[in-house]
Amino acid sequence: MKIRGHIEEIERRRGATVLVISATNLEIELLPPLYDALREIGHVPRLEVVFSCRGGVVHAARRIALLLHDFTDHLTFIVPHHCESSGTITALAAREIIAGPVAVFSPIDPLLQTSPTASNEGGPLGVSAQDVRLFSQMSKDWFGLEEGEAKLKALSVLSDSIFPTTLTSFYRSILEIQLIGAELLSLHMPPGSEAEMSKIVDQLLFGHHSHGFALSRGDMAALGLPLRGDPAIEDLAWEIARELRGLVGAGARQAIEDDWFDALIATRSGSRRRRRSPGAPGSRWEAGDIE
């Protein structure tokens, strides 16, 4: 994995320490190796995180963001490509975000994973909180129901199709993400910005019509997030991302029976990689060199 030169060049240009995090899924289990890497670095004035993520657990996103913030006075996220779902939540903690031309962020509305059953055969395997929230509006717009009638019908139909406490869990998840988003934004936004923070989080929660909507760096800047361009850094981060695509993720395997790495944490000194094996119940972290 030839990324040391790119890391060192970013550090030279930015006057900062660089940490690379790439994960197919953010999980709480990433905290121990991340903490070890940060302890080796120590508290630094500026920490630049080259970040790649396709999603994950909201609680893990929060804890990763808070841990990174604990080790620096100025946290920057460098996003060459994927930073979606829970990855977008993590990036809210950054005082500065440098995103490349093909950087992909996404809405942060929670998803309920469903299992195929006789009653929902052919239905979606994942339902967004927005799908539930807008059901009554859809009934009103498409079928001409009065607003009050649409809401009552929607509640009845949803309660018959989704267990009532699951609906409550959706609602609690929304409240939780609103609190987490505001907490992470408050790490770098000035006191008195509560209304602005709420607007940013609510737009990421409710402002788009699909969870997979690919938000650009321009979209994120329009929300009021601290996006800035730096073509030289973007080019270096893109080269790192190209190397990571050949190493991290099941798609990097040559054959279905091969092992693969699903997470990597790296500095100029080396890397920690989590190896998974087909059919194995767990995973193991191992040290790796970088060139």
Residues 16, 136 within the same domain: no
**Domains contained in the chain, number:** 2
Q: Give the per-residue pLDDT at 117.
A: 41
Asked if residue 121 is part of any domain, the answer here is yes
Q: Give the per-residue pLDDT at 288.
A: 84
pTM over 0.85: yes
The structure tokens 């946290």 sit at: 75
Using 50 as the pLDDT threshold, list the residues of the chain that sit under it: 114-125
DSSP alpha helix (H) spans, the chain? 4-14, 31-41, 58-70, 86-91, 129-133, 135-143, 147-161, 164-185, 194-206, 217-222, 231-245
Asked if residue 183 is part of any domain, the answer here is no
Q: Give the per-residue pLDDT at 168.
A: 75
Asked if residue 161 is part of any domain, the answer here is yes
Q: Give the per-residue pLDDT at 172.
A: 87
Domain boundary among 171, 188, 222: 171
Residue 47 has phi, psi (to 5 degrees) of -120, 120
Q: Give the per-residue pLDDT at 128.
A: 73
Q: Give the per-residue pLDDT at 118.
A: 39
